[in-house]
Structure 1
Amino acid sequence: MALNNTYDGYDARPVQQETAVGAGAQILLLALLGTAIGMGTAGWLTGLAFAFATWAVLSRALHRSRLPSFGPANRVTLGRATLVGGVTALVADSFRSAPPVSLLVGLTAVALILDGVDGKVARRTGTSSPLGARFDMEVDAFLILVLSVYVAMDQGPWVLLIGGMRYVFVAAARAWPWLTAPLPPSTARKTVAALQGVLLLVAGAELLPHAVNTGVVLLALGLLVWSFGRDVLWLWRTARTRGGAPAAEVMRELVAQ
């Protein structure tokens, strides 16, 4: 995919170089995993596809946003994305043979821990941006999807509801634009989102009896259904009471409250 380096005086090369470094780090991690566990073709292809897709989409988004620099917070998120790529490769390879659970748990745990770091770095350095927030959210969502695939191999396909719910919401927003209105800040929403990875990791670690793991995953699904249901209800009520006001107008009203 060819990307122009300059556009109206904007030099995209510095940020593109950082995304290229991220792709290189991803390939290096895959090489280390492949050496350590003898990863099969599915793992390699999935990991490489993830690396290429991350590089291509992120490079394009950075070019369009015209950020002057990549920023420290985005570097943390890119490092987390690299770990998620490793987890993705391991899960894809698990259809051939079970990967070392400790390795998968270790990579996932570090990725989840870093999820609480990039936001703090962005705020402390004054480098918060809509692109950075979206990048962070997409990495989170994809990790949850991959973990749900892994846990579903033991618990059943119903676990995929956890990983797929956010993507169903995005698809539904294309049919019902009122779902795209901005939501008010919510600690509960953030807590539920953070718990998804933790609970799926607990179930995937296979340290507890099967029945207990089932309960853990059901808890994660129940919390997610409650969180999405509450937000959809709020958006629906807002669209009705405000006559389907544009998202920008709704946000102005929220700020004024």
Structure 2
Amino acid sequence: MTLSTADAGVGPSRGPVLGLAAQLGLLALLGSTLGLTPAGLVAGAAYGLVLCGLLGAGLARAGLNELGAANAVTLSRAILVGGVTAMVVTSFTQPVSVPALVTIASVALALDGVDGQVARRTKTTTALGARFDMEVDAFLILVLSVYAGDRYGWWPVALGAFRYAFVAASWAWPWLNAALPPRFSRKVVAAVQGIALALVIAGLLPTVAAVAVLALALASLTWSFGLDVRWLHRAMRVREAARSRWSEERATPARRPALAH
């Protein structure tokens, strides 16, 4: 169900424009078939405008001449997230089709990793592509956690808010912006969040089981972020110690060897 919003050769200026057109087309389709509210359609359109605007700015800043196949896959996934956003906002005032919501969200989740594989196989891995993929994942989890929170209490929203709280904290403590080493468990925990939310919003679990699944997902996410914060804090202390030693060495005049008599 990958949307053909842009091909690998589409230039950076056309890619976001085609993406926005595809986003509006998907919203029109969902609106006519599922009866989305005006608020839902506006939310989906606003998401699409921000998404494509930021993507265009990112491509220009990175100096990329083409959108690329991997980014086209991520953009297709991001457009599906726009449809999920519109449906979740609609659900605040009227029921939405749960099968349609779960299907679209599940396809977006399933496509996670495809863009990375495409980038590696085509040797087009970029920092922009990695950031684009991560932000799409984070926003999808946030939207799904809002849907779950509206039904099970607002504490599950922490599943989606964790990432944005971490970013906000990095403004106060810049050492949180340092690069993290790859960690397989981080990928597993990220995948667990999407699976848990998709399972819960499908409505296949009794309330007690759904709450338990959400609680376990939140516990694993807290553990994963805790490991990252601990590693970043230790790395900051190591850097500070190294800078201190370097400053002391510069401040201490070099000793000259004594002359032989």
Q: 1:74 aligns with which of 46, 71, 75?
A: 71
Partners of 1:81 and 1:60 lie apart in 2 by 16
2:108 is matched with 111
- Partner-residue secondary structure (3-state), 2:125: coil
Please show how residues 32-181 of structure 1 align to structure 2 within 5 Å: 32-181=29-178
The amino acid of 2:170's aligned partner reads A
Q: 2:220 aligns with which of 212, 218, 223?
A: 223
How many residue pairs get matched?
A: 234
The amino acid of 1:87's aligned partner reads V
1:210 is matched with 207
Larger radius of gyration between Structure 1 and Structure 2: 2
Shift of 1:244: 7.0
RMSD across aligned C-alpha pairs, in angstroms? 1.3
TM-score under structure 1 length normalisation: 0.89
Partners of 2:139 and 2:241 lie apart in 1 by 31
Partners of 1:169 and 1:189 lie apart in 2 by 15
Structure 2 regions of 5+ residues with no counterpart? Answer: 1-9, 244-261
Shift of 1:98: 1.5
Q: Deviations over 1:84-138 (max 9, x none)?
A: 0000000000011111100000000100111020000000000100000000000
The amino acid of 2:115's aligned partner reads D
Partners of 1:147 and 1:46 lie apart in 2 by 15
Partners of 2:13 and 2:153 lie apart in 1 by 41
Shift of 1:195: 1.3
The amino acid of 1:164's aligned partner reads A
2:24 is matched with 27
For the 8 Å contact 1:239–1:245, the answer to whether it is kept is: no
Shift of 1:154: 1.0
Shift of 1:245: 6.9
2:191 is matched with 194
- Partner-residue secondary structure (3-state), 1:242: helix
- Partner-residue secondary structure (3-state), 2:124: coil
Change (3 A) 1:48 1:232: same
The amino acid of 2:15's aligned partner reads E
- Partner-residue secondary structure (3-state), 2:165: helix
Partners of 1:26 and 1:204 lie apart in 2 by 23
Q: Deviations over 1:143-199 (max 9, x none)?
A: 000000000011111111111011010011111111111111100001101111111
